[in-house]
């Protein structure tokens, strides 16, 4: 099916209006829309407007508070814990990153663990807020359990992404933004739609057997940690996902492991709640708390240029710097518009009708 392209500004205005309709104030609504659409711009379509109706449904079942009183509940010179008051992660996480950046201005670094939040869109948006201030940015979040740790048949971790964004000089920033699984859930969804096989190492069935069926999660299967199986280092991917869970939730007082609230509003909440909402972890490190920013950027450029110049494997163009493809996509989609799958376009039209908006 052909995809139609929509100008960024049209989608931004529409998404902002939807967030206003569920009760966000205009500033929060525009911020939430910007964060959400940064995913579409960067080509991470699974985390963009495709999820807008999902956020609306969470609000409908009262799992999202459109007017949160976000506040710092504990702090030291370089740390804070924030209670998101059940707000949209799209609004709570930028608030938390601003706190991390302010801490870093004074103490060199700032680290903020967040409880009582919801899904925050792509980690990259938040980490890049720090880069604009000549800081290294960190962003992590836990998420609904879809991933089985090594040797487990049960799903105990989310795809728990880690993003680290590092400023450079002439070169674009280095932005590693990755699920701690072999493949992000969005990639699996693409295979589901096409009814194509998944590579071995992406999913397992409900007994923990290797599987190539992209629909495995619907019958009790699980996504696999980066590495895929023990022989290929899945215990490392599992450990990375665990670190994200601990930093985002055990440190803040959010829910962790199998008790993280699900994103789909129709999935019942876990019976037990050892914490509040879902958790994030944001960090900002001032470059000049280590060395002069200009020196650092000169060496980052040299690092990037050396990696780009590596002799490539036959058939491959060259080594890619993390964040490069997303940056190129952003430039292109700002110019030519954001392509939406017909099903996503339908979803937005449904929202337009529901809220009496133009789309």
Please report how close the Cβ of residue 207 comes to its own copies at its closest, in angstroms.
Answer: 7
Q: How far apart are CA 337 and CA 331, in angstroms?
A: 10
- In the list 14, 120, 125, 256, the residue contacting its own copies (rule: CB under 8 A) is 256
DSSP-derived secondary structure letter, 119: -
Please report how close the Cβ of residue 189 comes to its own copies at its closest, in angstroms.
Answer: 17
Binding to its own copies (CB under 8 A) within 287-346 occurs at 287, 289-291, 295-296, 299-300, 302-303, 306-307, 310-314, 316-320, 322
> Is position 178 an interface residue for its own copies (rule: CB under 8 A)?
yes
Nearest to 144 by CA among 266, 39, 226, 234: 266
Please report how close the Cβ of residue 343 comes to its own copies at its closest, in angstroms.
Answer: 26
| Token couple for 280 | 């994030």
User: CA 59 → CA 142, 266, 267, 327, distances in Å?
Assistant: 20, 12, 14, 32
> Is position 270 an interface residue for its own copies (rule: CB under 8 A)?
no
Residue pair 215/223 in contact by the 8 Å Cβ criterion: no
- Closer to its own copies by Cβ: residue 214 or 237: 237
Q: How far apart are CA 282 and CA 284, in angstroms?
A: 7
> Is position 116 an interface residue for its own copies (rule: CB under 8 A)?
no
Please report how close the Cβ of residue 256 comes to its own copies at its closest, in angstroms.
Answer: 6
Beta bridge partners of 340: 4
- In the list 258, 331, 332, 334, the residue contacting its own copies (rule: CB under 8 A) is 258
Please report how close the Cβ of residue 183 comes to its own copies at its closest, in angstroms.
Answer: 7
Q: Mark the segment that binds its own copies (CB under 8 A) among 4-12, 48-56, 86-94, 108-116.
A: 108-116
Residues that contact its own copies, how many (by CB under 8 A): 82
Nearest to 226 by CA among 216, 238, 215: 238
Nearest to 77 by CA among 98, 105, 114, 96: 105
The 203-232 site mask, x for binding its own copies (CB under 8 A), equals ----xx-----------------xxx--xx
- In the list 15, 53, 109, 160, the residue contacting its own copies (rule: CB under 8 A) is 109
Q: How far apart are CA 51 and CA 261, in angstroms?
A: 16
The 230-249 site mask, x for binding its own copies (CB under 8 A), equals -xxx-xxxxxx-xx-xx---
Binding to its own copies (CB under 8 A) within 4-23 occurs at none
Please report how close the Cβ of residue 172 comes to its own copies at its closest, in angstroms.
Answer: 14
> Is position 356 an interface residue for its own copies (rule: CB under 8 A)?
no
End-to-end Cα spacing for the chain: 20
> Is position 197 an interface residue for its own copies (rule: CB under 8 A)?
no
User: CA 27 → CA 132, 160, 183, 258, distances in Å?
Assistant: 20, 28, 34, 34
Residue pair 113/100 in contact by the 8 Å Cβ criterion: no
Please report how close the Cβ of residue 283 comes to its own copies at its closest, in angstroms.
Answer: 9
User: Please, how many CA atoms are within 13 Å of residue 212, restricted to the half-sphere of its CB?
Assistant: 6
Residue pair 279/256 in contact by the 8 Å Cβ criterion: yes
CB atoms within 10 A of CB 49: 25
Binding to its own copies (CB under 8 A) within 55-94 occurs at 74, 76-79, 81
Q: Mark the segment that binds its own copies (CB under 8 A) among 54-62, 94-102, 172-180, 350-358.
A: 172-180
Q: How far apart are CA 291 and CA 311, in angstroms?
A: 31
- Closer to its own copies by Cβ: residue 154 or 353: 154
């Amino acid at each position: 099916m052909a995809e139609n392209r929509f100008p960024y500004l049209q989608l931004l205005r529409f998404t902002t209006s939807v967030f206003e309709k569920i009760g966000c104030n205009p500033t929060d609504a525009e911020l939430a829309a910007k964060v959400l659409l940064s995913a579409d711009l960067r080509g991470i379509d699974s985390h963009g407007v495709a999820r807008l109706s999902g956020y609306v449904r969470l609000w409908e079942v009262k799992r999202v508070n459109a007017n949160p009183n976000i506040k710092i509940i504990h702090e030291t010179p370089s740390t804070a814990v924030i209670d998101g008051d059940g707000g949209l992660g799209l609004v709570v996480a930028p608030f938390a990153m601003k706190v991390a950046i302010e801490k870093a201005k004074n103490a060199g670094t700032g680290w903020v663990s967040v409880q009582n939040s919801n899904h925050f869109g792509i980690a990259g948006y938040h980490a890049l807020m720090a880069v604009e201030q000549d800081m290294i940015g960190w962003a992590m979040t836990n998420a609904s359990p879809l991933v089985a740790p090594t040797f487990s048949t049960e799903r105990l971790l989310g795809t728990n992404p880690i993003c680290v964004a590092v400023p450079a000089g002439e070169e674009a920033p280095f932005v590693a933004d990755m699920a701690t699984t072999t493949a992000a859930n969005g990639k699996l969804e693409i295979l589901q739609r096409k009814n194509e096989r998944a590579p071995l190492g992406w999913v397992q069935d409900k007994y923990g057997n290797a599987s190539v069926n992209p629909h495995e999660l619907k019958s009790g299967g699980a996504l696999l940690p980066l590495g895929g199986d023990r022989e290929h280092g899945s215990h490392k991917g599992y450990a990375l996902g665990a670190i994200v869970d601990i930093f985002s939730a055990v440190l803040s007082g959010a829910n962790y492991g199998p008790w993280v609230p699900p994103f789909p509003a129709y999935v019942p909440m876990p019976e037990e709640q050892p914490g509040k909402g879902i958790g994030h972890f944001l960090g900002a490190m001032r470059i000049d708390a280590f060395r002069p920013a200009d020196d650092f950027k000169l060496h980052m450029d040299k690092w990037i240029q050396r990696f780009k110049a590596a002799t490539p494997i036959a058939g491959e163009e060259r080594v890619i710097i993390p964040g490069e493809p997303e940056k190129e996509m952003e430039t292109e989609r700002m110019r030519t518009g954001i392509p939406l799958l017909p099903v996503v376009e339908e979803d937005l039209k449904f929202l337009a009708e529901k809220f009496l908006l133009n789309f």
